[in-house]
Structure 1
Amino acid sequence: MKEAAPVYGGIEAGGTKWVCAVADAGGRLRDTEVIPTTTPETTIAGATRFFQRHEGLAAIGVGTFGPVDLRPASSTYGHITATPKPGWAYTDVVSPLRAALGVPVRVDTDVNAAALGEWRRGAGEGLATFAYITVGTGIGAGAVVNGRLVHGLLHPEFGHIRIPHDLGRDPFAGSCPFHGDCLEGLASGEAMRRRWGRPAEHVDDPSAWELEAEYLALAVVNLTYTLSPERVIVGGGVPKHPSLLPAVRARVLGLAAGYPAPGDAAAMGGYVVGPSLGDRSGVVGAVELARDATGSHGHDAGSSLLE
């Protein structure tokens, strides 16, 4: 009997849903399934069943919400740690998948996975240093520096940086359970929901989006002067509002105040951009983590991601 061609699994493990996918040796997605994030046991079991339906599984990559232990030598590698997600604190994500499927499992943050996907297949292709910011229920960032995903003492927790908060303009105390008015506490989708009394996608007050652009522009300027990325990709649900990214670009120029920055308004259009892969950045990046785990990360430029 002919042996099945190898396939690579990816999981974008989010707080509301897990997006599972398998891809062929060229990185093209062949099948996907969305599993609601309920309890750890139920959610991981659903993902396991999805991958058990596919022959030739070589490895799995997981891009997960966090915080998560990414130290390979740690006894808690692959464990979600002090997350505010009810029922998920200190959950082992890697071991149950590895035991049930018998393949290598590599884990990273959801935003690092999205950054990896955009680097290999999207708006970060050809760049040595760039950053990916996601603005959804929370805020996070992943970064590639000199061709490597950034890890260190912790994985980057960019959503928890402190930014100026003008209480006269915005008296909202912030939504972060740890820091109150950090970037995530002021500018995430959850912050918008609490401040304006409805989900971000239903907020139509121009002043609300002007304030959101202010906070995100402050974040981009801080990131620009700290990391010096060649491009900043801004994804997630909140930036889908059509006025937001143009307003962020304009405000970044204003905040830069003529100090060396990406350039003029025309250059800014290629500096602060949306993700080329849209909502698939994370799961594509998770597949790339799986391919890295087996040393097969070369890709076919321009190939279709879902055929």
Structure 2
Amino acid sequence: MTLLGAIEAGGTKFVCAVSDNALNIIERVSVPTTFPEETMEAVVDFFEKYDVDSFGIGSFGPIDVNPASETYGYITSTPKPGWNQFDFVGYLKKAFGKPIYWTTDVNAAAYGEYKLGAARDIPNSLYLTIGTGVGGGAVINGDIFNGYTHPEMGHIKVQRHPEDTGEGTCPYHGDCLEGLASGSAIEKRFGKKGIDLTKDHEAWDFTAYYLAQALMNYSLVLSPERIILGGGVMKQAHLLTMIQAKLEELMAGYLALPPMTEYVQTPGLGDNAGITGCLLLAQKILN
């Protein structure tokens, strides 16, 4: 029986799973993301119980996805203590010697949504996660899109909302999308987690404005057929309709798009988009 291994490596936790080739999950665990020696030891301990045929890894980044690079398979310039320049793929290859599909966590989620979720059978789609940070992945013509490196959609510049005087929180770019619209930015700038803010709080108008700008830019550059918005911030149900309305307003009829309720959606796979995508990528590398 073919066994697939999946690792959704997030900044807070690693989700590890083993499934059969039909994606029936045999076992799944969650491991805290502490330091590589501790977290990776727990990951290896979990997978050693199974004769896994391949792995799909979706990791927090930035990561090196260029197979010709000397640091391919590394987590690169992350500020997360201990993980900067960590050879993730090399570590797993040494432990198991099996084929590995290596990509970002958001790319994996984008692929999961394309194969089995809200973008099923739609060959050109985007997945954006708005949580502690903001990241995005693209599926173009049915394949994960990478160029020289992977997309970093959370760090595009957006225009300030006229009434927003708060300080952008990105340590690299200040007023980028992540610095203004991420969950951590909302909490730092308004003094409360998003879940504790009322629906009519100004934070949501600002956030919808920034995210709609981003979706406009992605639409103009990549022309996706569907955009999927996941992550903890998007669990505020009223935010989706605010973003859809603001995007339509910003577009001003310039670009032909599907109806907004079809074009911008939340994940069909819910919180399982990432781990499902990783299993599908483990399957893909065997074919």
Give your verdict on TM over 0.5. Answer: yes
The alpha-carbon deviation at position 261 of structure 1 amounts to 3.3
- Deviations, residues 135-155 of structure 1 (Å, cap 9, x unaligned): 011111100111221101221
Cα distance in structure 2, aligned partners of 1:59 and 1:51: 11
From 194, 207, 210, the equivalent of 1:200 is 194
> Which residue is 1:292 aligned to?
284
Residue 5 (structure 2) aligns with: 9
Q: Is the counterpart of residue 283 in structure 1 residue 275 in structure 2?
A: yes
What is the deviation of 1:254?
A: 0.8
Q: How does 1:38-53 map to 2 (within 5 A)?
A: 38-53=34-49
Displacement of 1:198 after TM fit? 2.0
Residue 175 of structure 1 aligns with an amino acid whose one-letter code is T
CA distance in 1, matches of 2:279, 2:216: 31
Aligned to 1:269, what secondary structure does the other structure show?
helix
Q: How does 1:167-246 map to 2 (within 5 A)?
A: 168-204=162-198, 205-246=200-241
Residue 69 of structure 1 is matched in structure 2 by 64
Could you tell me how far apart the structure 2 residues matched to 1:260 and 1:102 are?
48
Aligned counterparts of 1:162 and 1:40: Cα–Cα separation in 2: 32
| Corresponding position: 1:271 with 2:267 | no
Q: List alignment gaps of at least 5 residues for structure 1.
A: 296-307
Give, as a single letter, the amino acid of the residue that structure 1 aligns with 2:63: V
Q: CA deviation at 1:238?
A: 0.5
Report SS of the residue matched to 2:255.
coil
The CA deviation at 1:29 is 2.1
Give the partner amino acid of 1:108: T
Quick check: 1:262 aligned with 2:257?
yes
> Quick one: which of 32, 41, 44 aligns to 1:36?
32
Number of corresponding residues:
286
Q: Deviations over 1:20-79 (max 9, x none)?
A: 01111112222210000000111111111111112x310111100000001122221110
Equivalent position SS for 1:38 = coil
Separation of aligned partners in 2, 1:225 and 1:163? 14
Q: Cα deviations across residues 216-245 of structure 1 (Å, max 9, x unaligned)?
A: 111111111111100000001100101100
- Counterpart CA distance in 1 for 2:204 and 2:196 is 11
Residue matched to 2:244:
249
Alignment TM-score, normalising by the size of structure 1: 0.90
Letter in 2 for 1:188: S
SS at match of 2:27: strand
Given the alignment, which residue of 148, 151, 157 partners 1:153? Answer: 148
Per the normalisation by structure 2, the TM-score is 0.96
Long gaps (5+) in structure 2:
none
Runs of at least 4 residues off by over 3 Å: none
- Supply the distance in 2 between the matched residues of 1:154 and 1:98 (Cα, whole angstroms): 21
Sequence identity, in percent?
Answer: 47
